[in-house]
Amino acid sequence: MNDNKIKVLPEYISNKIAAGEVVQRPASVLKELLENAIDAEAKTIVVVIKEAGKSLVQVIDDGLGMSEDDAVKCIERHATSKISSIEDLDRIKTFGFRGEALSSIASVSHLEIKTERDNDELGTFIKYDDESGLKIEKGSFSKGTAISVKSLFYNVPGRRNFLKTNSTELKHIIDVFKRASLSYPEISFEFWNDDDNIFNFKAAKIEERMEQVFADNIFDVIIPVEEGTDFIELHGFIAKPTYLKKSRSDQYLFVNRRFVLSKVVNHAVFSAYENILEKGDYPFFALFLKIDYSKVDVNVHPSKMEIKFEDDKDIYLFVNAVIKKALGKYDLVPNIPLQKENNGFEKLGFHEHQFNEKNDFSDRPNVMNRNFDKTSSTFSEDELDAIFNNISPRIRQNEVVGNLSAPFEREPVNEVQTKIEIATDSTESSSAISFIVSLHNKYILTAIKSGLMIIDQHVAHERILYEKALKSMDSDLPFSQQLLFDQQVQLDPSDYELLKELETYLIKLGFEIKFLSKRTISIVGVPSDIKVGSEIETLKEIIKDYRQHELINRLAKKDNLAKSYSCKAAIKAGDKISEYEMRMLVDKLFATSMPYVCPHGRPIIIKISLDEFDKRFGRTS
């Protein structure tokens, strides 16, 4: 009696099992055939689909073609022309390389291949299926290769029964076709479905291919992205914040021209939009990442859709910074028209964000008599800090520098302001500078080219402090303002431990804390933005806010702390600030990377157009 239980499976069974990983649906077949056509250096690729791929998936290319011997071998398992040694796996530059695709497809379909090379007088015709086996014929065919996959899953009825409706399967097929055509705009792609010519994409530049694939007006709602270093390049397009989707379907990432899925890159893109995105919103993007082939592993899964980067953190930081930079080049301020409700009363209603042209910041307040180009600054960091650091003590004393009854007569608050005032007045009189006024010590109103801009002073300062905090935590040059008298406070055990956990970041922010016995801390120094006399209260509020973000949003420690700190250290609604400080606040705001929303997602700025005012006052010209 033979007690052995382990058996080697026959090849035809193991092929069908392997096919389950590579060939999941008709779209999987199309993906593999398209990739082979691209690897064959095709200039034109034609796709023919019948019955949503269940009856026929055919790909015809004008590429290099194959010899008879290669055509026979290509349907054998683990037969490939793409790699020859184990070292090749470290620098995979082709789509096909595993030698599994055609073998797997052949095991679950009726496969036909017609192929002919340029210098061959006759080409090769191959038919293969489980029932009839392999048949080879010679004939005269078009140069290149045509592969037809018929009756998919005819011999695996269970798999065929799991296919979805024709409309669903066709959608997946079209998605694969679009991805391939986006990745290689220099190739002409044609798509036939049940004898109807659906797509005919002529070879073009990527901009034209975007219009071919999506819509003629696609560039009305997307922003170009382009950045490169010696090691990595990123280009492509991202959605303006008004063009958001409720699904992830329109997100295209290509790494070395291979369509892939990457949580690292996706999260980097979403994070760059910060809180412009509401819950359930997803931005459209088509991004092309070029990186050294040895720094990325595509040999993770037979579908070759998953990848691993050598350094996820570097990729994340690079993509995130590039997307932020692209978004920062556009004016994202909401335009607020006055609308009438059904009851006749007027209300403010948000319309779509208004965008200026690339690098056009002319529709911003000229509060400090200079352009708001982020690459230049009239004032040094020290000068700006010197002015802002004077806000806190005066707020505590409920004082305002300057004459509130005459808001346009500015008075210096210190030597730095005197210096800047002299520089400003030497070039232009103060009457030529845009007006700026405070509304109920909450909102700053100022004129812009198109009308009126309204700025929330608290969230504007919050945005400034948030970016300043991140910069401080990334640097190794902390600056702490020493207190005249140490402030001691006893905390509950969890808060005490949390502060210990965050001590490194707090030091970089400018806090100097000593941990004493019995859960007591001593605050020795604080960041210069903290109000004098509120050190303990502010630190407690930061801890409380940090815990809320940790519970709800699960933010990274550094980002969470920066958000909590900026919220609690910023000037509040109701705090009086002088006209000059308002001008400095606006100036500093537009020097940030994202002046339109606060770190928590609230809008900082809105504007009401001059046309809207004209309508309200009955002006016709």
pLDDT tens track for 279-295: 667 888 999 999 988 88
So what's the pLDDT on residue 100?
A: 73
- From CA 535, how far away is CA 509, in angstroms rounded? 14
CB 232 within 8 A of CB 289: yes
359 band by pLDDT with thresholds 50, 70 and 90? very low
Positive or negative, the Cα torsion across 252, 256, 258, 261?
Answer: negative
So what's the pLDDT on residue 597?
A: 82
Give me the residue label for tokens 């500015």.
410
Beta bridge partners of 149: 57, 111
So what's the pLDDT on residue 432?
A: 44
Question: Does the pLDDT value for residue 460 go beyond 90?
Answer: yes
So what's the pLDDT on residue 401?
A: 38
* Helix, strand, coil percent content, the chain, rounded in steps of 5: 35, 25, 40
Give me the residue label for tokens 């036909």.
112
Report which of residues 601 and 150 the model is more confident about. Answer: 150
Q: At 252, which helix (H) or strand (E)?
A: strand 251-255
CB 560 within 8 A of CB 552: no
Nearest to 445 by CA among 540, 582, 558, 550: 582
CB 592 within 8 A of CB 601: no
Question: Does the pLDDT value for residue 322 go beyond 80?
Answer: yes
The proportion of the chain whose per-residue pLDDT surpasses 70, expressed as a percent, equals 71
DSSP letter at 97 equals: -
- From CA 440, how far away is CA 417, in angstroms rounded? 25
Nearest to 285 by CA among 332, 241, 316: 241
Q: How many CA atoms lie within 13 Å of 92's alpha carbon, on the beta-carbon side? A: 22
Task: Say which range, 225-234, 412-421, 589-598, has the weakest mean pLDDT.
Answer: 412-421
- From CA 393, how far away is CA 533, in angstroms rounded? 9
Phi, psi of 181 (to 5 degrees): -70, -30
- From CA 46, how far away is CA 189, in angstroms rounded? 6
Displacement of CA 542 from its chain's centroid (Å): 29
CB 368 within 8 A of CB 583: yes
Q: What are the helix (H) ranges across 108-194?
A: 157-161, 166-183
Question: Does the pLDDT value for residue 421 go beyond 50?
Answer: no
Q: At 464, which helix (H) or strand (E)?
A: helix 457-474
412 band by pLDDT with thresholds 50, 70 and 90? very low
User: Can you point out the beta strands (E) in 52-122?
Assistant: 56-61, 110-116
Task: Say which range, 83-97, 120-134, 230-244, 585-599, has the weakest mean pLDDT.
Answer: 83-97
Beta bridge partners of 285: 238, 251
Question: Does the pLDDT value for residue 474 go beyond 50?
Answer: yes
DSSP letter at 597 equals: B
So what's the pLDDT on residue 429?
A: 39
Count of all residues that appear for the chain in the document: 621
Phi, psi of 440 (to 5 degrees): 55, 30
Beta bridge partners of 50: 56
Per-residue pLDDT, averaged over 335-342, amounts to 55
So what's the pLDDT on residue 142?
A: 94
Report which of residues 3 and 253 the model is more confident about. Answer: 253
Question: Does the pLDDT value for residue 235 go beyond 90?
Answer: yes
Report which of residues 178 and 95 the model is more confident about. Answer: 178
So what's the pLDDT on residue 389?
A: 52
So what's the pLDDT on residue 10?
A: 63
Question: Does the pLDDT value for residue 118 go beyond 80?
Answer: yes
Report which of residues 539 and 308 the model is more confident about. Answer: 539
- Give whichever of 23-37, 244-258, 537-551 has the largest mean pLDDT: 23-37
Report which of residues 149 and 393 the model is more confident about. Answer: 149
DSSP letter at 412 equals: -
- From CA 511, how far away is CA 529, in angstroms rounded? 11
Per-residue pLDDT, averaged over 155-175, amounts to 91
Q: Which pair of structure tokens corresponds to residue 365?
A: 């307040």
CB 590 within 8 A of CB 372: yes
Average pLDDT over all residues of the chain? 79
So what's the pLDDT on residue 363?
A: 61
CB 89 within 8 A of CB 299: yes
Question: Does the pLDDT value for residue 348 go beyond 50?
Answer: no
11-204: CATH topology is Heat Shock Protein 90 (3.30.565)
Q: Which pair of structure tokens corresponds to residue 66?
A: 């194959």
Report which of residues 333 and 500 the model is more confident about. Answer: 500
Report which of residues 476 and 81 the model is more confident about. Answer: 476
Phi, psi of 175 (to 5 degrees): -60, -45
402 band by pLDDT with thresholds 50, 70 and 90? very low
Which one of 1.25.40.10, 3.40.50.2000, 2.40.50.140, 3.30.230.10 gives the CATH number of domain 214-328?
Answer: 3.30.230.10
Question: Does the pLDDT value for residue 186 go beyond 90?
Answer: yes
Per-residue pLDDT, averaged over 538-556, amounts to 80
DSSP letter at 172 equals: H
Burial of 466 (0-12, 13-18, 19+ CB in 10 A): buried
Beta bridge partners of 150: 56, 110
Q: How many CB atoms lie within 10 A of CB 96?
A: 22
Q: Torsion angle, CA of 474/477/481/482, rounded to 10 degrees?
A: 120
DSSP letter at 514 equals: E
Question: Does the pLDDT value for residue 323 go beyond 70?
Answer: yes
The residue type found at 80 is T
Report which of residues 335 and 591 the model is more confident about. Answer: 591
Per-residue pLDDT, averaged over 339-364, amounts to 45
| 480-526+530-569: CATH superfamily | MutL, C-terminal domain, regulatory subdomain (3.30.1370.100)
What are the domain boundaries of the chain? 11-204, 214-328, 338-456+607-616, 480-526+530-569
Q: Torsion angle, CA of 197/203/206/212, rounded to 10 degrees?
A: -20
Report which of residues 513 and 15 the model is more confident about. Answer: 513
Q: At 296, which helix (H) or strand (E)?
A: strand 296-297
Question: Does the pLDDT value for residue 598 go beyond 50?
Answer: yes
